[in-house]
A = this chain, B = another copy of it.
């Protein structure tokens, strides 16, 4: 299977229909397909060959999207880079991937002086924005003026991209995904998120992350419309949803929280929204209740996955995101195995555990990564006999619904008891005054670790540590309740994917200890 087949299908079935919308720039599928073939031609003229890696360091845009097809069209592999990284981390990825070209935009160009002379494999740098490129950097539209290249016909198990995970440390790993991996995922996305030719999808999470990529290739194969905002901003999103009659969006719970609680949310007509996919971390019940209230015409689909799975592993059919009726009771589940995924929950010896028992999520399927780039040891640690071992703690109920309990590494061991931080966070999020919460383990001489809550209160709310602890005691077992509570007035630190960076929260407590920071 060819990743580019989806693009050709879009062009065949909606040649004059909208393909991309970025600010005021609109294109049709015929225009986009022609541009992709020309960009591929321009890259070939610049010396890029089949199998080469090409890095992209940029905020969201239609140009970014065009690259995600032009690169595989040429038979090369895309390397989207996390925009939150510092220059040495970017340098590490460029070198690790052996990237031969780099695409950068205005928001990221500040890194160029720091990277100068430190990207030995990069032969050419291109500028994705429309203003004057920095010195030595080539304008994007120069590529587009090249003669169109015929599709190189790369497909199947050929590498389509390297997607770096854990990008906030120098040790990030390049997940190798093939054309087949990404197309199988696209088919799971189409079947489970209900994309069709009338879909208008807003890219509001970062495009460098496959949480957004999960939808990119599926929406294209359906001939839907792609709407881009450069980065997540509640007002930008609401405006584009209203203006472009967006039908599908994808947000991490932190973003949904920010949208649903935005003071101006009721000024916008968001009635076109049909489906919001959410994932990357469990949705606190309080946030979900608010979102169901603010977006009443919209159904919510919980997804769970990881870059290694290209990325969707589970989807919760939207009828289960309900608080009453025959489908109630599964709202905290991330859903059922995606159509082509096999899932099991295993113990520390990788043996399947009974339903209802918490263990590690293991998965198999044709969307599973080829491995980590140049890291056979790390690959062997997680891939065994076709199964991928995720490091996520979860249980499965009798009907196959998966309930993610925690990242195994976020599990707190206090006095020999396993405490899953997500469970404590969920309890705390039910308090009306809580805007954001993260729960971590901190060192304790007696218990090994004790439970510590970091809370950002809503404006005007008055919370106390005692009140939070008392609330928890009414919700969960005593040993799971925080022993200490900390209030902050600035948002919690987030990864590019919108997950709270618990590493950063843990760091000050664990200085001088060997473990628990990462």
Contact = CB atoms under 8 A, between A and B. Distances in A.
Interface of A: 1, 5-6, 8-9, 12-15, 180, 183-184, 187-188, 190-191, 196-197, 221-222, 317, 336-337, 339-343, 365-366, 396, 398-400
A343 B180 CA distance: 19
A29 to B, nearest CB: 10
30 contacts: A1-B340, A1-B366, A5-B365, A6-B339, A8-B342, A9-B337, A9-B339, A9-B341, A12-B336, A12-B337, A12-B400, A13-B336, A13-B337, A13-B400, A14-B399, A14-B400, A15-B400, A180-B366, A183-B340, A184-B187, A187-B187, A187-B188, A187-B191, A187-B340, A190-B191, A190-B339, A196-B317, A197-B317, A221-B339, A222-B339
Contacts of A366: 1, 180
A341 B15 CA distance: 17
Interface centre among A6, A9, A14, A336 (most CB of B within 10 A): A9
Given A9-B342, A15-B399, A365 B191 contact: no
Given A197-B317, A365-B1, A399-B14, A187 B339 contact: yes
A217 to B, nearest CB: 11
Nearest to A344: B12
Oligomeric state, in copies: 2
Given A1-B365, A1-B366, A366-B1, A343 B12 contact: yes
Contacts of A180: 366
Contacts of A14: 399-400
A1 B398 CA distance: 25
A196 B301 CA distance: 15
Contacts of A187: 184, 187-188, 191, 339-340
A398 B6 CA distance: 18
A8 B400 CA distance: 11
B13 A342 contact: no
Given A1-B365, A1-B366, A13-B336, 8 more contacts: A8-B342, A9-B341, A12-B336, A14-B400, A180-B366, A187-B187, A187-B339, A221-B340
A398 B16 CA distance: 9
Nearest to A187: B187
Contacts of A342: 5, 8-9
A512 B251 CA distance: 72
Ranked nearest first, the 9 interchain pairs of A and B with the lowest CB-CB distance are A13-B400, A12-B400, A187-B187, A1-B366, A190-B191, A13-B336, A191-B191, A221-B339, A5-B342
Contacts of A340: 1, 5, 183, 187, 221
Contacts of A317: 196-197
A197 B191 CA distance: 12
Contacts of A399: 13-15
Nearest to A222: B339
A341 B197 CA distance: 16
A196 B320 CA distance: 14
A401 to B, nearest CB: 8
A150 to B, nearest CB: 13
A307 B14 CA distance: 28
A5 B387 CA distance: 13
Contacts of A191: 187, 190-191
Which of A191, A196, A340, A399: most chain B CB closer than 10 A?
A: A191
B183 A398 contact: no
A202 B337 CA distance: 25
A343 B13 CA distance: 11
A427 B143 CA distance: 53
Contacts of A337: 9, 12-13
A197 B183 CA distance: 23
A96 to B, nearest CB: 30
A340 B1 CA distance: 8
Contacts of A12: 336-337, 343, 396, 400
A160 to B, nearest CB: 15
A15 B398 contact: yes
Contacts of A13: 336-337, 399-400
A69 to B, nearest CB: 15
A187 B6 CA distance: 14
Nearest to A335: B13
A399 B28 CA distance: 13
Contacts of A190: 191, 339
Contacts of A9: 337, 339, 341-342, 400
A12 B190 CA distance: 21
A191 B337 CA distance: 16
A449 B157 CA distance: 51
A15 B401 CA distance: 12
Nearest to A13: B400
A16 to B, nearest CB: 8
A188 B1 CA distance: 13
